[in-house]
Structure 1
Amino acid sequence: MARLDVTEMFHGIAYPGHLHTQESLQHALKFPFRDTDILIASYPKSGTTWIQEMLSLILNKGDPHLSLTVPNWARAPWLEHYYCASVLEGSSTTPRIVTTHLPHHLLGSALTDSKAKVIYVSRNPKDVLVSFYHFHKMANFLPESGTFPEFVNRFLAGTLHFGSWFDHFKGWTSQMTPMHSRLHMTYEEMSLDLHGAIKKVSSFIQCPLVEDEVNNCVQYCSFSQMKDNVMVNYSLVPDDIMDHNRGRFMRKGQMGDWKNMFTEEQNRYFEQVLKFKMQGCTTENCEKSLHPLIHSSDAS
């Protein structure tokens, strides 16, 4: 299924037709979640692959066999991708790990009557923007990136594929309450304390680990390990879909890389738009989580 030049518009948001169809998107909205499911929700380039790998290792008590032999998209398929239904139908694994980039306002109703656990992972939006910009250069199923200033404007306007980062963040973080089996993880906390992040996630999904198992998880989901793991780094994807001569899916894995791209003027403009866009972010959890998300990377 190539469809590299196809864009699917769904509820006003553009999705790459290479992996999305109207049918698969509709199926996601009606997905029958099991109470034992674990859903990873994120905006692209926010640490999704990291959480996928972390969960695989935690559920296998630090044993890397699956992580080294099964592609991550088969271990934690994207709910809205056309192949997801067939992957899940052929799996007897419990709990199931499912991934999504859909915003909460589309997927929330499917989760209403489920006790499925949800992990939302977010990242400094400036770093998200830079990582997404570089990804556009290698992903032939995404539109041309244009110049960096053009890309900044499209990100801030919410017209890129997958929609507005601001709406995505606000929608999911407003639902991050313990009573709803929700956990908010950030790229920054995983970067600064991977050991602690693994223990936090293992506790949330009620899969306790002994110290040696935690250390194995740390080893095999470190950025350097994932960058060299062909089951994670997307080097298995053919060059006509991802041009590996134009970049690497796992590029730097750093906090604050936006500083190498943003001009002072772009940063000021971004901060102005951020302040305006997030003024409706009034829940305690949203306000508490957004502040360190922005400033932790600024200090790096």
Structure 2
Amino acid sequence: MLLDPDKTISRPELFDFHGVSMTHYFTDNWEAVQNFPARPDDILIATYPKAGESRNETVVTRLKRWDHQAPSSSGTTWVSCILDLLYFGQTSPERQTSIPIHERVPFLEIFAPSVALVGTDQAEKLPTTPRLIKTHFPVQFVPKSFWEQNCRMVYVARNAKDNMVSYFHFDRMVKVQPEAGDWKDYFQRFIKGKMVFGSWYDHVSGWWKKKQTYSNIHYMFFEDLVEDTGREIDKLCSFLGLSPSAEVKKQITGEVQFDTMKKNSMANYSTFPAMDFKISPFMRKGKVGDWKNHFTVAQNEEFDEDYRKKMKDSTLQFRSEI
């Protein structure tokens, strides 16, 4: 039985870990994570963390100019549900209504044993083939066995502005993250890369560069998923070598729409012990471009100038609106 998270999880401090900002919840089990025995048919779902789905109503009242709809996640939960349905939706449909997504797709590096969250243990005990495993690691932290076994990996990237806004709201309600603080300070911290799992720029660019030499990475964009979920599921199936019927694809597309997932207690993280739902729910409404309701004109100008410098040599292209 899970213990009361109020008594067993405390906000961590950020520290430098092999050149990346991290917290102890993701480094305390480092040796076991790095020695994790991947299998050739494992599928690793990787994203930069995380994007919060909502905000506290007190904050909304105080900052009335902000829009009521916060963006959804960076795509981790979304793609996890899609993959779970593609592989097991027809053969084991009861999974969708009986096992939370964070157990079906465990978080490899999480280590909070006081609330029974040890990602390596959960992943090793998965009964499924393939095993679906998620990570927020920058590419250089991925355990070597995943590369040695030539595992398939699905990376989902989201535009930096929406990711920053979403991460801010997420940090406010999840207890394994440092305190978010106020928006102005958070904005500067994001630009400087002082975030758990490091710089957004390093993360998305590192995985993009690795894709050029490792063919088993499928690089997806959150904005593309919002724009045409069915099209992106088709691309994912092509990468995975799956051929579901048109009827099954239509069914999956319907089941992973935001409103459907929001109501599903097995997908909306309402059973996850490290989140404070008194502050906000995990999911509200998916949206691209919500950053416009948060960035001041001055912040937007500062961000764009910094972005151009950091991404000037990259072939990676993002859309901050659709």
* TM-score grouping bracket, smaller chain normalisation: 0.7 to 0.9
Residue identity in the other structure for 1:202: C
* 1:203 to partner: Cα distance: 2.0
Alignment of 1:6 with 2:34, yes or no, is: no
Alignment of 1:174 with 2:212, yes or no, is: no
> How has the CA–CA distance of structure 1 residues 160 and 89 changed in structure 2, closer, same or farther, with 3 Å as cutoff?
closer
* 1:53 to partner: Cα distance: 0.5
170-179 or 222-231, larger mean C-alpha shift: 170-179
**Structure 1 spans left out of the alignment, 5+ residues:** 282-286
Alignment of 1:152 with 2:158, yes or no, is: no
Alignment of 1:251 with 2:284, yes or no, is: yes
Inter-partner Cα distance in structure 2 for 1:229 and 1:16? 30
Give the conservation status (yes or no) of the 8 Å contact 2:12–2:178. no
**Structure 2 spans left out of the alignment, 5+ residues:** 52-73, 112-117
Deviations 1:43-94 (A, max 9, x none): 0122111110110011124564312221111111111123122223322311
Q: Quick one: which of 269, 272, 280 aligns to 2:302?
A: 269
89-98 or 43-52, larger mean C-alpha shift: 89-98
| TM-score (structure 2 length as normaliser) | 0.82
* 1:280 to partner: Cα distance: 4.2
Q: Quick one: which of 99, 102, 122 aligns to 1:73?
A: 102
> How has the CA–CA distance of structure 1 residues 228 and 267 changed in structure 2, closer, same or farther, with 3 Å as cutoff?
same
Q: Quick one: which of 236, 259, 265 aligns to 2:271?
A: 236
* 1:185 to partner: Cα distance: 0.7
* 1:178 to partner: Cα distance: 8.2
Inter-partner Cα distance in structure 2 for 1:111 and 1:20? 18
Structure that is richer in helix per residue: 1
Inter-partner Cα distance in structure 2 for 1:27 and 1:121? 25
| TM-score (structure 1 length as normaliser) | 0.88
Alignment of 1:47 with 2:75, yes or no, is: yes
> How has the CA–CA distance of structure 1 residues 6 and 148 changed in structure 2, closer, same or farther, with 3 Å as cutoff?
closer
Cα RMSD between the aligned structures?
Answer: 2.0
> How has the CA–CA distance of structure 1 residues 257 and 64 changed in structure 2, closer, same or farther, with 3 Å as cutoff?
farther
Q: How does 1:1-300 map to 2 (within 5 A)?
A: 2-7=8-13, 9=15, 10-17=17-24, 19-22=25-28, 24-44=29-49, 45=51, 46-61=74-89, 64-82=93-111, 83-107=118-142, 109-177=144-212, 180-238=215-273, 241-281=274-314, 287=315, 290-291=316-317, 293-294=318-319, 297-298=320-321, 300=322
Give the conservation status (yes or no) of the 8 Å contact 2:180–2:186. yes
Give the conservation status (yes or no) of the 8 Å contact 1:25–1:81. no
Query: Higher relative contact order at CA 8 Å, sep ≥6: structure 1 or structure 2?
Result: 2
